[in-house]
Amino acid sequence: MGTTSFFVSLLLSTLLLHLCLSHGVAAARPPAGGKISPRVLKFYPVIQEFKTRITSDPTGILKTWNPNDKNVCNYKGFFCDLFPTDNLTTVAGVDFNGFGFAGKDGKLPLSGFIEKLTDITTFHANSNNFTDIPWQISTIPYFFELDLSNNKLSGQFPTQVFGAKQLTFLDLRYNALNGAVPPQVFLLDVDVFFINDNYFEQKLPDNLGSTPAIYVTFANNKFTGEIPRSIGRSKNLQEVLLLNNKLTGCLPFEIGYLQNATVFDASFNYLTGPIPQSFQCLYSIEVLNLARNNFYGSIPDAICKHPNLQSLDLSNNYFTEVGPECRKLIATKVVNTTKNCIKDLPNQRTKAECAAFFSKPHKCANEKFLTQIPCNPAHRPANIEPSATLVSYGALTPHK
Ligand SMILES: *[C@@H]1O[C@H](CO)[C@@H](O)[C@H](O)[C@H]1NC(C)=O
Ligand SMILES: *[C@@H]1O[C@H](CO)[C@@H](O)[C@H](O)[C@H]1NC(C)=O
Ligand SMILES: *[C@@H]1O[C@H](CO)[C@@H](O)[C@H](O)[C@H]1NC(C)=O
Ligand SMILES: *[C@@H]1O[C@H](CO)[C@@H](O)[C@H](O)[C@H]1NC(C)=O
């Protein structure tokens, strides 16, 4: 196997493993000829030292980290493969998912450990009590995936990750991070970026659209302000979860540029305005959730013609009109218009609730763009393949 193919195949296999949100430890390779590779030997003291810091091992992992066995490829949680430049066996990845490791006072620093595992490509540690990320992770040359979801990270966004330029997968969901998300986040060359279920507040940076990511989850934080208009530039975006924040303002019409988006969920926010006509360009959309906001106006009927639409939840808003295509899908329960202000439909808000809402003025800053259609519906690509699996909703649970 050549250098590139080794790493690409490792990357792809771990990414797939990860995207399925499954877990498991890849089988370790026995050392060639019974001799332990010098690369593997180098990590033996690192791992034994780290072991002394772990005071909580509820799943009984540490007994496999036998100090009499210097071949750490036999230890649970580590997997070995050939290092590309010299074909020597080395510790290529870490999978501590679900191990529940904790240290003194329930905390466990990652500093002094991860950066010494200089050959790793992946570090997956969902559901442990790791508390920090060291600056030196930037010195690990082939580091592709960092999963510290459901750990004990706190304070501001860990800007240490900006040094890890090769990262393609960054999962920091279910921690206690707060403050702002720095704009450099969207310059990371990642495919997957999960930060849901933290305490982030303040605005989403205006350069959100610079992200090359495919899957992003901002859900269940306290983000405020408007959805940045630049979102329309993030051409790779397939799934974006913004639900349950404190977002305000109207939907930017630029969302209509996301012609590969399969999931857009901005439910449970304080968004308002009509649905931009540009949403008829979301050709690939499968799940569109705008429930529990303050949207109003007429539901663009063309949205209900999207071929792969599985769910359009518009419940708990103030929509007043719905066309024939969408009515067909209300009947089949694809579209949910419960608790709106649509006069001839059942289960709507009371007249008084609707009257109270419409007695106040409602206006969007981008009003003149709301009717803009940045695609030619006559040229819709034929046969848009539905995605095999939706990925990001799986990130809304803490465990894997
Ligand atoms: C590593 O091994 C593969 C085949 O096993 C070979 O093609 C490649 O040239 C080797 N690389 C090095 C640096 O020895
Ligand atoms: C690890 O964190 C969890 C969640 O806060 C906590 O319940 C647990 O006690 C911690 N583990 C230890 C051993 O302190
Ligand atoms: C959608 O994805 C395809 C291939 O995955 C790509 O060629 C195309 O440019 C994307 N379209 C948009 C509008 O980004
Ligand atoms: C529609 O939304 C309402 C409010 O969230 C919910 O109670 C109801 O079960 C939904 N109906 C369908 C058919 O999904």
> Mean pLDDT over residues 164-190, rounded?
97
Residue found by looking up tokens 């983000």 in the block: 223
Check pLDDT > 80 for residue 5: no
Kindly indicate the confidence band of residue 33, based on its pLDDT and cuts at 50, 70 and 90.
Answer: low
Residue identifier of the C-alpha nearest atom 14 of ligand 3 = 235
Of 389, 341, 3, the closest CA to residue 214 belongs to 389
User: Is any atom of ligand 3 closer than 6 Å to the C-beta of 259?
Assistant: yes
In this structure, are residues 273 and 364 in contact, taking their beta carbons and an 8 Å threshold?
yes
Residue ranges lining ligand 4, Cβ < 6 Å: 291, 315, 333, 336, 338
87 close to ligand 1 (CB < 6 Angstrom): yes
* Token duo for residue 29: 């390779």
Model confidence at 21, in pLDDT bands (50, 70, 90)? Answer: very low
Q: What percentage of the chain has pLDDT greater than the value 90? A: 88
How do 176-179 and 199-203 pair as beta strands? parallel
Q: How confident is the model at residue 1 (pLDDT cuts 50, 70, 90)?
A: very low
Q: Which atom of ligand 1 is nearest to the CA of 85?
A: 13
Residue 110's pLDDT band (cuts 50, 70, 90) = very high
Residue showing tokens 């200089």: 118
Closest residue by Cα to residue 159 from 183, 126, 191 = 183
The span from the CA of 56 to the CA of 107, in Å, is 10
Distance 374 CA to ligand 3 centre (A): 15
Give the pLDDT confidence score for residue 30 in this predicted structure: 53
pLDDT tens for each residue of 112-127: 999 999 999 999 999 9
User: For a substitution probing ligand 1, which of 87, 88, 89 has the most ligand atoms within 8 Å of its CB?
Assistant: 87
- Strands across the sheet containing 215-217: 78-82, 89-95, 122-124, 145-147, 169-171, 192-194, 215-217, 239-241, 263-265, 287-289, 311-313, 335-336
Predicted pLDDT of residue 245: 98
Query: If you write DSSP's letter for every residue of 32-46 in order, what string do you get?
Result: GGGPPPHHHHHHHHH
Instruction: Identify the burial level of 56 via C-beta atoms within 10 angstroms of its C-beta, where 0-12 means exposed, 13-18 middle and 19 or more buried.
Output: middle
Contacts of 14-20 with CB under 8 Å at 24 or more apart are 14/93, 14/121, 14/122, 14/144, 14/145, 15/145, 15/168, 15/169, 15/191, 15/192, 18/124, 18/145, 18/147, 18/169, 18/192, 19/192, 19/389, 19/391, 20/389
Tell me the CA–centroid distance for residue 118 and ligand 1, in Å: 21
Cβ–Cβ < 8 Å for 158, 172: yes
- In whole numbers, what is the pLDDT of the chain averaged over residues? 92
pLDDT tier, 83 (very low <50, low <70, confident <90, very high otherwise): very high
CA–CA gap between residue 392 and residue 159 (Å, rounded): 23
User: How confident is the model at residue 377, as a pLDDT?
Assistant: 80
**Number of Cβ within a 10 Å radius of residue 73:** 22
